[in-house]
Amino acid sequence: MTTQGTLLKSELRARLPENLPRRLGVAVSGGGDSVALLSLLKHIAQEEQVELFVATVNHNLRPEAVAEADWVAQLAQGLGLPHETLHWQGWDQTGNLQDRARQARYQLLSDWARDKQIGAIALGHTADDQAETMLMRLARAAGVTGLSGMPAMRNYQGIMLLRPMLGVTRQQLRDYLAKIGADWIEDPSNHDRRFDRIKARDALTGLSEIGISAHSLSRVAENLAQAREALEQITQDSARQVLSVDGGDICVDRAQFSTLPAEIRRRLLTGCVRWIAGRGYPPRQAATDRALLAIDQGEAATIGGCLLIPKADKMWICRELNAVESAPGAPGQIWDGRWILSGPAIPDAQVHPLGAAGLKAVPDWRALGKPRAALLASPSVWSGEVLVSAPMVGFSNGWLAELTPEEPEFHSSVLSH
Protein backbone atom coordinates (compact mmCIF):
# COMPACT_ATOMS: atom_id res chain seq x y z
CA MET A 1 0.00 0.00 0.00
CA THR A 2 1.26 3.54 -0.79
CA THR A 3 2.20 5.87 2.09
CA GLN A 4 -0.73 8.06 1.15
CA GLY A 5 -3.01 5.02 1.26
CA THR A 6 -1.72 4.05 4.69
CA LEU A 7 -2.38 7.57 6.01
CA LEU A 8 -5.88 7.64 4.58
CA LYS A 9 -6.56 4.19 5.99
CA SER A 10 -5.64 5.30 9.51
CA GLU A 11 -7.80 8.45 9.12
CA LEU A 12 -10.73 6.19 8.25
CA ARG A 13 -10.03 3.69 10.99
CA ALA A 14 -10.06 6.47 13.62
CA ARG A 15 -13.63 7.39 12.67
CA LEU A 16 -14.97 3.85 12.67
CA PRO A 17 -16.30 2.11 15.79
CA GLU A 18 -13.63 0.35 17.83
CA ASN A 19 -15.26 -3.02 17.22
CA LEU A 20 -16.34 -3.37 13.64
CA PRO A 21 -19.30 -5.66 12.96
CA ARG A 22 -18.25 -8.98 11.40
CA ARG A 23 -20.38 -8.15 8.36
CA LEU A 24 -20.03 -4.61 7.05
CA GLY A 25 -21.98 -3.05 4.16
CA VAL A 26 -20.49 -0.45 1.80
CA ALA A 27 -22.73 1.87 -0.23
CA VAL A 28 -20.97 2.43 -3.54
CA SER A 29 -22.45 4.68 -6.22
CA GLY A 30 -19.38 4.35 -8.45
CA GLY A 31 -18.30 7.96 -7.81
CA GLY A 32 -14.73 8.68 -6.73
CA ASP A 33 -15.56 8.99 -3.04
CA SER A 34 -17.31 5.67 -2.61
CA VAL A 35 -14.84 3.84 -4.87
CA ALA A 36 -11.98 5.13 -2.66
CA LEU A 37 -14.01 4.15 0.41
CA LEU A 38 -14.35 0.62 -0.89
CA SER A 39 -10.66 0.32 -1.69
CA LEU A 40 -9.57 1.58 1.74
CA LEU A 41 -12.14 -0.49 3.62
CA LYS A 42 -10.99 -3.57 1.76
CA HIS A 43 -7.57 -3.20 3.43
CA ILE A 44 -9.10 -2.56 6.87
CA ALA A 45 -11.49 -5.49 6.49
CA GLN A 46 -8.67 -7.84 5.54
CA GLU A 47 -6.68 -6.88 8.62
CA GLU A 48 -9.65 -7.24 10.96
CA GLN A 49 -11.37 -10.29 9.50
CA VAL A 50 -14.47 -8.34 8.52
CA GLU A 51 -16.64 -9.49 5.60
CA LEU A 52 -17.60 -6.69 3.18
CA PHE A 53 -20.84 -6.51 1.20
CA VAL A 54 -21.36 -3.91 -1.51
CA ALA A 55 -24.66 -2.32 -2.60
CA THR A 56 -25.59 0.21 -5.28
CA VAL A 57 -28.94 1.97 -5.42
CA ASN A 58 -30.45 2.47 -8.85
CA HIS A 59 -32.91 5.36 -8.41
CA ASN A 60 -34.20 4.81 -11.96
CA LEU A 61 -33.87 8.53 -12.62
CA ARG A 62 -31.18 8.49 -15.32
CA PRO A 63 -30.73 6.08 -18.24
CA GLU A 64 -27.03 5.58 -17.35
CA ALA A 65 -27.92 4.24 -13.89
CA VAL A 66 -28.13 0.61 -15.04
CA ALA A 67 -24.67 0.71 -16.60
CA GLU A 68 -23.26 2.45 -13.50
CA ALA A 69 -24.65 -0.21 -11.17
CA ASP A 70 -23.21 -2.91 -13.47
CA TRP A 71 -19.86 -1.13 -13.41
CA VAL A 72 -19.83 -1.25 -9.58
CA ALA A 73 -20.92 -4.92 -9.67
CA GLN A 74 -17.85 -5.70 -11.79
CA LEU A 75 -15.60 -3.65 -9.56
CA ALA A 76 -16.85 -5.62 -6.53
CA GLN A 77 -16.46 -8.90 -8.38
CA GLY A 78 -12.87 -7.99 -9.22
CA LEU A 79 -12.24 -7.48 -5.51
CA GLY A 80 -13.94 -10.79 -4.68
CA LEU A 81 -16.84 -9.09 -2.88
CA PRO A 82 -20.59 -9.77 -3.13
CA HIS A 83 -22.60 -6.96 -4.74
CA GLU A 84 -26.29 -6.19 -5.02
CA THR A 85 -28.20 -3.51 -6.96
CA LEU A 86 -31.21 -2.13 -5.09
CA HIS A 87 -34.02 -0.55 -7.09
CA TRP A 88 -36.16 2.44 -6.18
CA GLN A 89 -39.70 2.16 -7.44
CA GLY A 90 -39.59 5.80 -8.47
CA TRP A 91 -40.77 9.17 -7.34
CA ASP A 92 -44.46 9.56 -6.44
CA GLN A 93 -44.26 13.31 -7.28
CA THR A 94 -44.60 14.25 -3.59
CA GLY A 95 -42.02 16.36 -1.76
CA ASN A 96 -38.66 17.34 -3.15
CA LEU A 97 -37.13 14.81 -5.58
CA GLN A 98 -33.63 15.00 -4.09
CA ASP A 99 -34.94 14.51 -0.55
CA ARG A 100 -37.20 11.66 -1.53
CA ALA A 101 -34.40 9.91 -3.45
CA ARG A 102 -32.10 10.25 -0.45
CA GLN A 103 -34.73 8.90 1.96
CA ALA A 104 -35.44 6.00 -0.40
CA ARG A 105 -31.72 5.26 -0.66
CA TYR A 106 -31.32 4.99 3.12
CA GLN A 107 -34.45 2.89 3.38
CA LEU A 108 -33.34 0.48 0.63
CA LEU A 109 -29.84 0.20 2.06
CA SER A 110 -31.02 -0.44 5.61
CA ASP A 111 -33.59 -3.04 4.47
CA TRP A 112 -30.84 -4.75 2.49
CA ALA A 113 -28.53 -4.71 5.53
CA ARG A 114 -31.18 -6.17 7.82
CA ASP A 115 -31.92 -8.88 5.31
CA LYS A 116 -28.24 -9.84 5.11
CA GLN A 117 -27.57 -9.49 8.86
CA ILE A 118 -25.20 -6.63 8.16
CA GLY A 119 -24.80 -4.49 11.28
CA ALA A 120 -23.46 -1.29 9.73
CA ILE A 121 -23.17 0.44 6.35
CA ALA A 122 -20.26 2.71 5.43
CA LEU A 123 -20.99 5.79 3.32
CA GLY A 124 -18.50 7.87 1.35
CA HIS A 125 -19.24 11.39 2.60
CA THR A 126 -16.07 13.46 2.72
CA ALA A 127 -14.86 16.61 4.47
CA ASP A 128 -16.03 18.51 1.35
CA ASP A 129 -19.57 17.14 1.73
CA GLN A 130 -19.49 18.15 5.38
CA ALA A 131 -18.20 21.65 4.54
CA GLU A 132 -20.89 22.14 1.86
CA THR A 133 -23.53 21.01 4.34
CA MET A 134 -22.19 23.52 6.87
CA LEU A 135 -22.32 26.39 4.36
CA MET A 136 -25.90 25.55 3.39
CA ARG A 137 -26.89 25.39 7.06
CA LEU A 138 -25.18 28.70 7.79
CA ALA A 139 -27.48 30.19 5.18
CA ARG A 140 -30.43 28.96 7.26
CA ALA A 141 -28.96 30.40 10.47
CA ALA A 142 -28.78 26.94 12.01
CA GLY A 143 -28.01 26.41 15.69
CA VAL A 144 -25.70 23.96 17.43
CA THR A 145 -27.55 20.91 16.12
CA GLY A 146 -27.58 22.00 12.48
CA LEU A 147 -23.97 23.15 12.59
CA SER A 148 -22.79 19.87 14.04
CA GLY A 149 -23.18 18.63 10.45
CA MET A 150 -23.59 15.03 9.40
CA PRO A 151 -22.72 12.61 12.20
CA ALA A 152 -19.83 10.18 11.72
CA MET A 153 -22.06 7.45 13.20
CA ARG A 154 -25.80 7.26 13.40
CA ASN A 155 -28.37 4.60 14.15
CA TYR A 156 -30.88 4.32 11.32
CA GLN A 157 -33.68 1.87 12.07
CA GLY A 158 -31.33 -0.41 13.97
CA ILE A 159 -28.52 -0.25 11.37
CA MET A 160 -25.44 1.88 12.02
CA LEU A 161 -24.64 4.36 9.26
CA LEU A 162 -20.92 5.12 9.30
CA ARG A 163 -19.18 8.05 7.64
CA PRO A 164 -15.49 7.35 8.18
CA MET A 165 -14.25 9.79 5.50
CA LEU A 166 -15.48 13.07 7.01
CA GLY A 167 -11.89 14.01 7.82
CA VAL A 168 -10.49 13.59 4.29
CA THR A 169 -11.06 15.69 1.21
CA ARG A 170 -12.34 14.71 -2.19
CA GLN A 171 -8.98 15.78 -3.67
CA GLN A 172 -7.03 13.50 -1.32
CA LEU A 173 -9.21 10.61 -2.44
CA ARG A 174 -8.85 11.46 -6.12
CA ASP A 175 -5.05 11.59 -5.70
CA TYR A 176 -5.11 8.22 -3.97
CA LEU A 177 -7.22 6.66 -6.74
CA ALA A 178 -4.94 8.09 -9.41
CA LYS A 179 -1.88 6.66 -7.61
CA ILE A 180 -3.31 3.14 -7.47
CA GLY A 181 -4.61 3.43 -11.04
CA ALA A 182 -8.24 3.02 -10.07
CA ASP A 183 -11.12 4.31 -12.15
CA TRP A 184 -14.46 5.85 -11.14
CA ILE A 185 -17.61 7.33 -12.67
CA GLU A 186 -17.93 11.11 -12.92
CA ASP A 187 -21.50 12.20 -12.11
CA PRO A 188 -22.54 15.04 -14.50
CA SER A 189 -24.84 16.56 -11.84
CA ASN A 190 -21.68 17.37 -9.84
CA HIS A 191 -21.36 20.44 -12.06
CA ASP A 192 -25.01 21.43 -12.17
CA ARG A 193 -25.32 24.89 -10.62
CA ARG A 194 -29.06 24.51 -10.17
CA PHE A 195 -28.20 22.63 -6.96
CA ASP A 196 -27.35 24.58 -3.79
CA ARG A 197 -24.72 21.98 -2.94
CA ILE A 198 -22.81 22.73 -6.13
CA LYS A 199 -23.04 26.49 -5.48
CA ALA A 200 -21.70 25.87 -1.96
CA ARG A 201 -18.85 23.83 -3.50
CA ASP A 202 -17.92 26.73 -5.76
CA ALA A 203 -18.22 29.23 -2.89
CA LEU A 204 -15.84 27.13 -0.80
CA THR A 205 -13.13 27.58 -3.40
CA GLY A 206 -13.43 31.37 -2.97
CA LEU A 207 -13.36 31.11 0.82
CA SER A 208 -9.94 29.44 0.79
CA GLU A 209 -8.41 32.92 0.52
CA ILE A 210 -9.43 33.63 4.10
CA GLY A 211 -8.41 30.21 5.34
CA ILE A 212 -11.84 28.58 5.32
CA SER A 213 -11.44 25.11 3.90
CA ALA A 214 -13.20 21.75 3.83
CA HIS A 215 -10.88 20.64 6.63
CA SER A 216 -11.55 23.67 8.84
CA LEU A 217 -15.32 23.54 8.36
CA SER A 218 -15.48 19.83 9.05
CA ARG A 219 -13.45 20.43 12.24
CA VAL A 220 -16.01 23.08 13.27
CA ALA A 221 -18.72 20.48 12.73
CA GLU A 222 -16.86 18.06 14.99
CA ASN A 223 -16.46 20.69 17.70
CA LEU A 224 -20.13 21.51 17.59
CA ALA A 225 -21.07 17.83 17.58
CA GLN A 226 -19.31 17.58 20.93
CA ALA A 227 -21.05 20.70 22.21
CA ARG A 228 -24.35 19.21 21.09
CA GLU A 229 -23.67 16.00 23.00
CA ALA A 230 -23.03 18.00 26.17
CA LEU A 231 -26.21 20.01 25.64
CA GLU A 232 -28.23 16.86 25.12
CA GLN A 233 -27.05 15.48 28.41
CA ILE A 234 -27.92 18.68 30.28
CA THR A 235 -31.29 18.76 28.55
CA GLN A 236 -32.04 15.20 29.65
CA ASP A 237 -31.18 16.01 33.25
CA SER A 238 -33.32 19.16 33.11
CA ALA A 239 -36.24 17.23 31.63
CA ARG A 240 -36.29 14.95 34.64
CA GLN A 241 -36.47 17.97 36.93
CA VAL A 242 -39.01 20.19 35.21
CA LEU A 243 -41.24 17.98 33.06
CA SER A 244 -43.65 15.22 33.89
CA VAL A 245 -45.60 13.06 31.50
CA ASP A 246 -49.30 12.58 32.11
CA GLY A 247 -50.87 10.18 29.61
CA GLY A 248 -49.97 11.66 26.24
CA ASP A 249 -49.44 15.16 27.61
CA ILE A 250 -46.59 16.92 29.33
CA CYS A 251 -46.78 19.16 32.36
CA VAL A 252 -44.10 21.81 32.84
CA ASP A 253 -43.13 23.30 36.19
CA ARG A 254 -43.01 26.94 35.07
CA ALA A 255 -40.95 28.34 37.93
CA GLN A 256 -38.17 25.77 37.46
CA PHE A 257 -38.38 25.99 33.67
CA SER A 258 -37.78 29.74 33.78
CA THR A 259 -34.43 29.28 35.54
CA LEU A 260 -33.00 27.16 32.70
CA PRO A 261 -30.71 28.60 30.00
CA ALA A 262 -32.52 29.62 26.78
CA GLU A 263 -30.95 26.87 24.68
CA ILE A 264 -32.08 24.18 27.12
CA ARG A 265 -35.61 25.61 27.30
CA ARG A 266 -35.77 25.63 23.51
CA ARG A 267 -34.61 22.02 23.32
CA LEU A 268 -37.09 20.91 25.94
CA LEU A 269 -39.99 22.63 24.23
CA THR A 270 -39.20 21.37 20.72
CA GLY A 271 -38.62 17.89 22.16
CA CYS A 272 -42.05 17.96 23.82
CA VAL A 273 -43.73 19.17 20.63
CA ARG A 274 -42.11 16.43 18.58
CA TRP A 275 -43.02 13.79 21.12
CA ILE A 276 -46.64 14.87 21.12
CA ALA A 277 -47.26 15.95 17.54
CA GLY A 278 -44.88 13.89 15.45
CA ARG A 279 -41.36 13.46 14.38
CA GLY A 280 -41.24 15.60 11.23
CA TYR A 281 -39.33 18.84 11.07
CA PRO A 282 -38.92 20.69 14.37
CA PRO A 283 -40.98 23.88 14.78
CA ARG A 284 -39.43 27.07 13.40
CA GLN A 285 -37.38 29.24 15.70
CA ALA A 286 -39.82 32.16 15.62
CA ALA A 287 -42.69 29.88 16.67
CA THR A 288 -40.53 28.35 19.39
CA ASP A 289 -39.54 31.77 20.72
CA ARG A 290 -43.19 32.88 20.82
CA ALA A 291 -44.17 29.74 22.71
CA LEU A 292 -41.30 30.15 25.18
CA LEU A 293 -42.47 33.67 25.93
CA ALA A 294 -45.98 32.32 26.51
CA ILE A 295 -44.61 29.80 29.02
CA ASP A 296 -42.75 32.61 30.82
CA GLN A 297 -45.86 34.73 31.00
CA GLY A 298 -48.28 31.91 31.71
CA GLU A 299 -50.32 32.52 28.57
CA ALA A 300 -51.96 30.05 26.21
CA ALA A 301 -50.34 29.46 22.82
CA THR A 302 -50.14 26.97 19.96
CA ILE A 303 -47.03 25.47 18.41
CA GLY A 304 -46.53 22.72 15.82
CA GLY A 305 -49.84 20.92 16.41
CA CYS A 306 -49.72 21.38 20.18
CA LEU A 307 -51.50 23.62 22.65
CA LEU A 308 -49.85 25.31 25.59
CA ILE A 309 -52.36 25.70 28.38
CA PRO A 310 -51.50 27.43 31.67
CA LYS A 311 -53.03 25.99 34.82
CA ALA A 312 -52.00 27.33 38.23
CA ASP A 313 -48.16 27.36 38.28
CA LYS A 314 -47.92 24.71 35.56
CA MET A 315 -47.98 24.79 31.77
CA TRP A 316 -49.58 21.87 29.98
CA ILE A 317 -48.35 20.88 26.55
CA CYS A 318 -51.00 18.83 24.76
CA ARG A 319 -52.17 17.79 21.33
CA GLU A 320 -54.24 20.40 19.52
CA LEU A 321 -57.65 19.00 18.54
CA ASN A 322 -57.69 20.90 15.24
CA ALA A 323 -54.33 19.42 14.25
CA VAL A 324 -55.47 15.79 14.58
CA GLU A 325 -56.17 14.22 11.20
CA SER A 326 -59.93 14.09 10.65
CA ALA A 327 -60.03 10.62 9.05
CA PRO A 328 -61.06 8.01 11.64
CA GLY A 329 -58.55 5.39 12.78
CA ALA A 330 -58.94 1.67 13.31
CA PRO A 331 -58.36 -0.20 16.58
CA GLY A 332 -54.98 -1.96 16.64
CA GLN A 333 -53.46 0.55 14.22
CA ILE A 334 -51.43 3.65 14.86
CA TRP A 335 -53.67 6.66 15.34
CA ASP A 336 -52.44 10.27 15.31
CA GLY A 337 -48.89 9.04 14.81
CA ARG A 338 -48.47 7.51 18.27
CA TRP A 339 -51.49 5.80 19.84
CA ILE A 340 -52.68 2.22 19.52
CA LEU A 341 -56.11 1.38 20.94
CA SER A 342 -57.04 -2.20 21.66
CA GLY A 343 -60.09 -3.79 23.25
CA PRO A 344 -63.03 -6.14 22.74
CA ALA A 345 -63.93 -6.86 19.10
CA ILE A 346 -66.60 -4.44 17.86
CA PRO A 347 -67.21 -4.63 14.10
CA ASP A 348 -67.71 -0.91 13.43
CA ALA A 349 -65.36 0.51 16.09
CA GLN A 350 -63.51 3.65 15.01
CA VAL A 351 -60.89 5.79 16.72
CA HIS A 352 -61.49 9.55 16.90
CA PRO A 353 -60.35 12.36 19.14
CA LEU A 354 -62.72 12.52 22.11
CA GLY A 355 -64.04 15.99 21.17
CA ALA A 356 -66.65 18.04 23.01
CA ALA A 357 -69.45 15.53 22.36
CA GLY A 358 -67.41 12.69 23.83
CA LEU A 359 -66.31 14.67 26.84
CA LYS A 360 -69.94 15.41 27.70
CA ALA A 361 -70.45 11.67 28.10
CA VAL A 362 -67.71 11.53 30.76
CA PRO A 363 -69.09 13.84 33.44
CA ASP A 364 -66.33 13.46 36.03
CA TRP A 365 -63.42 14.51 33.81
CA ARG A 366 -62.69 17.50 36.07
CA ALA A 367 -61.48 15.14 38.77
CA LEU A 368 -58.49 14.37 36.57
CA GLY A 369 -57.13 17.88 37.16
CA LYS A 370 -56.17 18.27 33.51
CA PRO A 371 -57.16 21.11 31.19
CA ARG A 372 -60.30 20.41 29.18
CA ALA A 373 -58.54 21.14 25.86
CA ALA A 374 -55.99 18.39 26.56
CA LEU A 375 -58.77 15.84 26.96
CA LEU A 376 -60.57 16.87 23.76
CA ALA A 377 -57.72 15.59 21.56
CA SER A 378 -57.23 12.34 23.50
CA PRO A 379 -58.02 9.06 21.71
CA SER A 380 -61.46 7.50 22.02
CA VAL A 381 -63.36 4.61 20.48
CA TRP A 382 -66.78 5.03 18.93
CA SER A 383 -69.41 2.74 17.51
CA GLY A 384 -71.42 5.04 15.27
CA GLU A 385 -72.59 7.89 17.49
CA VAL A 386 -71.98 5.94 20.70
CA LEU A 387 -68.84 6.51 22.77
CA VAL A 388 -67.38 3.09 23.58
CA SER A 389 -64.23 4.10 25.39
CA ALA A 390 -62.07 7.09 26.34
CA PRO A 391 -59.18 5.45 28.17
CA MET A 392 -57.25 8.66 28.91
CA VAL A 393 -60.28 10.15 30.64
CA GLY A 394 -60.84 7.23 32.98
CA PHE A 395 -63.63 5.64 30.90
CA SER A 396 -61.81 2.57 29.60
CA ASN A 397 -64.69 0.08 29.26
CA GLY A 398 -62.16 -2.73 28.68
CA TRP A 399 -60.04 -0.76 26.22
CA LEU A 400 -56.40 0.21 26.46
CA ALA A 401 -54.65 3.20 24.85
CA GLU A 402 -50.91 2.74 24.52
CA LEU A 403 -48.19 4.87 23.02
CA THR A 404 -46.70 3.03 20.02
CA PRO A 405 -43.88 0.60 20.72
CA GLU A 406 -41.53 2.72 18.56
CA GLU A 407 -42.17 5.62 20.90
CA PRO A 408 -38.95 5.50 22.92
CA GLU A 409 -38.84 6.22 26.58
CA PHE A 410 -39.85 9.84 27.11
CA HIS A 411 -36.81 11.36 28.70
CA SER A 412 -34.47 10.14 26.02
CA SER A 413 -36.85 10.64 23.09
CA VAL A 414 -37.72 14.18 24.00
CA LEU A 415 -34.13 15.15 23.85
CA SER A 416 -32.57 13.06 21.14
CA HIS A 417 -32.65 15.53 18.29
Ligand X SMILES: Nc1ncnc2c1ncn2[C@@H]1O[C@H](COP(=O)(O)OP(=O)(O)OP(=O)(O)O)[C@@H](O)[C@H]1O
Give the shortest CB-207-to-ligand X separation in angstroms. Answer: 20
Give the shortest CB-169-to-ligand X separation in angstroms. Answer: 14
Nearer to ligand X, 34 or 380 (CB): 34
Residues that bind ligand X (CB under 6 A): 27-29, 33-34, 56-57, 102, 105, 123-125, 129
Nearer to ligand X, 105 or 267 (CB): 105
In the beta sheet, which residues pair with residue 346? none
Give the shortest CB-386-to-ligand X separation in angstroms. Answer: 49
Nearer to ligand X, 220 or 346 (CB): 220
Nearer to ligand X, 109 or 317 (CB): 109
Nearer to ligand X, 58 or 342 (CB): 58
Cβ-proximal residue to ligand X, closest one: 124
Give the shortest CB-352-to-ligand X separation in angstroms. Answer: 38
Residue 31, annotated ligand binder? yes
Residues 6+ apart with CB under 8 A from 262: 292
Nearer to ligand X, 57 or 127 (CB): 57
User: Do you know the residue count of the chain?
Assistant: 417
Whole-angstrom Cα distance, residue 15 to residue 127?
12
Give the shortest CB-129-to-ligand X separation in angstroms. Answer: 5
Q: Is 373 helix (H, G, I), strand (E, B) or coil?
A: helix
Nearer to ligand X, 128 or 320 (CB): 128
Give the shortest CB-65-to-ligand X separation in angstroms. Answer: 8
Whole-angstrom Cα distance, residue 359 to residue 361?
5
Q: Is 134 helix (H, G, I), strand (E, B) or coil?
A: helix
Give the shortest CB-102-to-ligand X separation in angstroms. Answer: 5
Q: How would you write 205-249 as a 3-class SS string?
A: HHHHHHCCCHHHHHHHHHHHHHHHHHHHHHHHHHHHHHEEEECCE
CA angle at 280 for the pair 297 and 99, rounded to the nearest 5°: 140
Whole-angstrom Cα distance, residue 166 to residue 14?
11
Q: Is 313 helix (H, G, I), strand (E, B) or coil?
A: coil
Q: What is the DSSP letter of 395?
A: B
Q: How far is CA 14 from the centre of its chain?
A: 24
304 dihedral zone (left: phi>0; alpha: psi -120 to 50; beta) = left
Q: Taking a C-beta distance cutoff of 8 angstroms, is the pair 110, 157 a contact?
A: yes
Residue 413, annotated ligand binder? no
Residue 30, annotated ligand binder? yes
Q: How far is CA 134 from the centre of its chain?
A: 17
Nearer to ligand X, 163 or 352 (CB): 163
Give the shortest CB-221-to-ligand X separation in angstroms. Answer: 13
Residue 304, annotated ligand binder? no
Residue 389, annotated ligand binder? no
| Closest to 368 in 3D by CA, of 380, 356, 379, 359 | 359
Whole-angstrom Cα distance, residue 388 to residue 346?
9
Could you report how far apart the first and last alpha carbons of the chain are, in Å?
41
Q: Which residues are annotated as a binding site for ATP?
A: 29-34
Q: Which residues are annotated as a binding site?
A: 29-34
